[in-house]
């Protein structure tokens, strides 16, 4: 997908992406608890949960955005969304949200 002349790929986050995503959260002033629910161990467990959907936006092998979506089987929520400052206002956040909405819709969840 091209976002305003930037080739961006959206894909599922893996544990290898953890450090880059945490760095983005810090840059974006996203609250996180590295000793709690956002520890590497806890994120690894969340990545395996079918109700959690972690995506990253990648360009030139660099993670430039991330989103966390969760659902309860009926409704979905976007819990965290961040885009690197130098890539903002280029449609990256919109693309991440659309990807999560599509994922939820495929599971029969149309309320986000």
Instruction: Give tens-digit pLDDT for 76-110.
Output: 999 999 999 999 999 999 999 999 999 999 988 98
Strand partners, 3: 6
In a domain, 111, yes or no: no
For 71, the domain range is 2-106
Q: Give the Cα separation of 80 and 61 in Å (integer).
A: 22
Residue with tokens 């903002």: 88
CA-to-CA distance for 99 and 89, rounded, in angstroms?
17
Region 58-82: what's the mean pLDDT? 94
User: What pTM, to 2 d.p., does this model score?
Assistant: 0.89
Mean pLDDT of the chain: 91
Structure confidence at residue 5 as a pLDDT band (50, 70, 90): confident
Rounded distance between C-alpha atoms, residue 64 and residue 86, angstroms: 9
Residue 29: the pLDDT is 87
Strand partners, 75: 111
Residue 112 maps to a domain: no
Tell me what pLDDT residue 95 has: 96
Q: Assign residue 19 the CATH number of its domain.
A: 3.40.630.30
């Amino acid at each position: 997908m091209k976002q305003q002349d930037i080739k961006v790929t959206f894909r599922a986050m893996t544990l290898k992406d953890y450090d880059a995503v945490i760095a983005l959260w810090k840059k974006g002033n996203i609250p996180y608890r590295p000793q709690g629910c956002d520890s590497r161990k806890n994120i690894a467990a969340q990545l395996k949960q079918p109700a959690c959907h972690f995506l990253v936006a990648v360009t030139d092998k660099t993670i430039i955005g991330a989103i966390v979506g969760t659902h309860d089987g009926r409704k979905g929520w976007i819990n965290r969304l961040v885009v690197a400052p130098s890539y903002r206002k280029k449609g990256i956040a919109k693309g991440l949200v659309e990807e999560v909405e599509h994922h939820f819709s495929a599971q029969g969840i149309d309320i986000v």
